[in-house]
């Protein structure tokens, strides 16, 4: 193990240096089959059961390109405002590692299918940062290694390794940004916001599961620093496989503070890959980065070039769905939201679930209020994601409808929601089982009112004398008597008419 790295205070880093970021995102496509063979593309499964001679790299086996994967690559390129290549080839990237049985990865080198695009990224305060996209290219995923005999499952200290090639050959799109300069203090936030925006985009396109926890979306973060006032990029490090949005932010921030301490101490940064440790939020040294020459790329002789006809590209452009930012603008207009209200919804990751609640028949304002306030509190209290709460948009819409028709008061509605969250069934069942229906029978209410008035004759006198505000005490008593199941407004009306008669 290496010694704990020296870190510079973040504010001091920003006084002395400007960060430069470069983000590489790998996304696994959700095609039925792999990139170059007909094996099923599924997550998990018994090891080495979705394999064939092609993805096992057996001599004589020949690859054939998955047309749907090419379509997805072009659609991703178009959604990222990229140009689509008129003609491009696959290339062999040569290196030896057991997770790649062919001893080369079929990738693209100097002829990516999509290039020169951009993605506008919404930051927490509403500012938009444009991330320029260098390229998006097609390649294949590797197998999965299991290191046996080491203390932590890591490669160090392992006695041998076990390989599962179910993932080998799964279609992968690598999306690479241009160097991002001018982010300053917001570099970590920009990195997270970019990956988040890209994830939303890919999800809207329906081309990937985009599950960072399962590795179908992975981010490598390149970070370098240049002293203030200079414009020559420093040496970068590449932190690999940072597997959550929060980790992206932490990894960038950590590397900035580590680089700064090394550079300020007169040292130099080694160009290398680094491993991010989720538990400590720190990175550790990996291998020295090969140069591109060392991969000895050359055009893949077993696959013919791809030359997407312009008509095909136009057809695919017409299949692009409403993109996340267009959808946000539409929803803002339809629901009549301020910028701040919209941003709160997006930041709470509640937009989709509120929209689903609206689709289930609830008015936008009520749907938003339930998810952003009461249910968000519940989610925070239990430490779960809002979307992971055991209540569906349809159930929330049902509760809202019951309030609207007068069957529930807001207070009772919260109890119904608590019941649904506790696994007591559908809202109607909870109402039934907990006996939460509003007492709407006037005669029952009048009986309770008469009782309350009789119990507090002085208050009754005041109301009769015209001091209507005094009715509050009676309302309170009636609500207590009906265990909160009466509509307070109706009770008030009845009290006043009772005292006037």
Partner 1 sequence: MPSISRDEVAHLARLARLAVTEDELDLFAGQLDVILQSVARVGEVASQDVPPTSHAVPLTNVFREDVVRPGLTQQQALSGAPAAEDGRFRVPRILGEEQ
Q: Which stretches of the chain bind partner 1, using CB under 8 A?
A: 31-33, 37-40, 46-53, 55-56, 64-70, 87, 89, 94-99, 142, 145-148, 154-155, 158-165, 240, 273, 275, 286-287, 294, 296, 299, 301, 303-308
CB 136 within 8 A of CB 112: yes
Bridge partners, 273 (sequence order): 238
Q: Which residues have a Cβ under 8 Å from the Cβ of 282 and sit 6 or more positions away?
A: 4, 5, 254, 276
- State the nearest-atom distance from the C-beta of 162 to partner 1, in Å: 4
Q: Which residues have a Cβ under 8 Å from the Cβ of 127 and sit 6 or more positions away?
A: none
Q: Which residues have a Cβ under 8 Å from the Cβ of 357 and sit 6 or more positions away?
A: 367, 370, 371, 393, 394, 396, 397, 400
Place of tokens 């559908």: 426
- State the nearest-atom distance from the C-beta of 53 to partner 1, in Å: 7
- State the nearest-atom distance from the C-beta of 263 to partner 1, in Å: 24
- State the nearest-atom distance from the C-beta of 159 to partner 1, in Å: 6
- Paired tokens of 417: 């929601």
Nearer to partner 1, 34 or 135 (CB): 34
- Measured between alpha carbons, how far is 161 from 158 in angstroms, rounded to an integer? 7
- State the nearest-atom distance from the C-beta of 272 to partner 1, in Å: 9
Nearer to partner 1, 130 or 287 (CB): 287
CB 90 within 8 A of CB 299: yes
Exposed/middle/buried for 416, CB within 10 Å: 0-12, 13-18, 19+?
buried
Nearer to partner 1, 53 or 476 (CB): 53
Nearer to partner 1, 50 or 183 (CB): 50
Nearer to partner 1, 38 or 476 (CB): 38
Nearer to partner 1, 296 or 330 (CB): 296
Nearer to partner 1, 105 or 409 (CB): 105
- Measured between alpha carbons, how far is 43 from 30 in angstroms, rounded to an integer? 10
- State the nearest-atom distance from the C-beta of 61 to partner 1, in Å: 11
Residue 357 DSSP SS3 = helix
Alpha carbon 101 to its chain's center: 33
- State the nearest-atom distance from the C-beta of 9 to partner 1, in Å: 31
CB 77 within 8 A of CB 117: yes
């Amino acid at each position: 193990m290496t010694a704990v790295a020296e870190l510079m205070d973040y504010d001091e880093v920003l006084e002395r240096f400007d960060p430069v970021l470069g983000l590489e995102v790998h996304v696994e496509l959700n095609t039925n089959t792999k990139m170059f063979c007909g094996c099923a593309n599924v997550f998990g499964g018994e090891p080495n059961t979705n394999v064939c001679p092609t993805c096992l790299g057996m001599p004589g086996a020949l690859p054939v390109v998955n047309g749907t994967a090419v379509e997805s690559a072009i659609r991703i390129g178009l959604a990222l405002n990229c140009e689509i290549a008129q003609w491009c080839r696959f290339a062999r990237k040569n290196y030896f590692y057991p997770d790649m049985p062919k001893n080369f990865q079929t990738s693209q080198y100097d002829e990516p299918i999509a290039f020169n695009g951009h993605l506008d990224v919404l930051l927490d305060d509403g500012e938009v940062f444009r991330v320029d996209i260098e390229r998006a290219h097609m390649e294949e995923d590797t197998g999965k290694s299991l290191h046996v005999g080491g203390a932590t499952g890591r490669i160090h200290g392992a006695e041998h390794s076990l390989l599962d090639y179910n993932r080998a050959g799964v279609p992968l799109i690598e999306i690479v940004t241009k160097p991002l300069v001018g982010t300053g203090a917001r570099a970590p936030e920009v990195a997270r916001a970019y990956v988040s925006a890209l994830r939303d985009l890919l999800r809207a396109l329906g081309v990937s599961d985009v599950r960072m926890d399962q590795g179908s979306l992975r981010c490598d973060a390149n970070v370098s620093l240049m002293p203030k006032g200079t414009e020559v990029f420093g040496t970068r490090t590449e932190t690999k496989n940072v597997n959550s949005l929060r980790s992206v932010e932490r990894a960038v921030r950590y590397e900035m503070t580590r680089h700064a301490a090394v550079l300020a101490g007169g040292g130099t940064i080694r160009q290398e890959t680094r491993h991010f440790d989720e538990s400590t939020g720190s990175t550790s040294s990996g291998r020295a980065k090969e140069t591109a020459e060392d991969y000895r790329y050359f055009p893949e002789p077993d696959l013919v070039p791809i030359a997407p006809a312009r008509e095909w590209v136009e057809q695919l452009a017409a299949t692009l769905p409403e993109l996340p930012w267009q959808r946000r603008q539409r929803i803002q207009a339809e629901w009549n939201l301020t910028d701040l209200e919209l941003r709160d919804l997006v930041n709470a990751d509640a937009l989709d679930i509120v929209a689903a609640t609206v689709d289930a028949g609830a008015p936008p304002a009520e749907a938003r209020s339930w998810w952003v306030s009461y249910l968000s509190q519940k989610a925070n209290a239990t430490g779960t994601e809002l979307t992971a709460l055991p209540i569906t948009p349809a159930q929330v819409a049902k509760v809202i409808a019951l309030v609207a028709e007068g069957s529930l008061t807001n207070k009772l509605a919260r109890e119904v929601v608590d019941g649904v969250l506790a696994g007591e069934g559908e809202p109607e069942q909870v109402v039934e089982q907990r006996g939460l229906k509003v007492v709407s029978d006037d005669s029952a209410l009048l009986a309770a009112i008469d009782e309350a008035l009789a119990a507090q004759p002085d208050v009754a006198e005041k109301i009769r004398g015209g001091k209507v505000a005094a009715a509050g005490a009676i309302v309170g008593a009636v609500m207590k008597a009906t265990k909160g199941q009466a509509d307070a407004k109706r009770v008030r009306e009845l009290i006043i008419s009772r005292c006037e008669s």
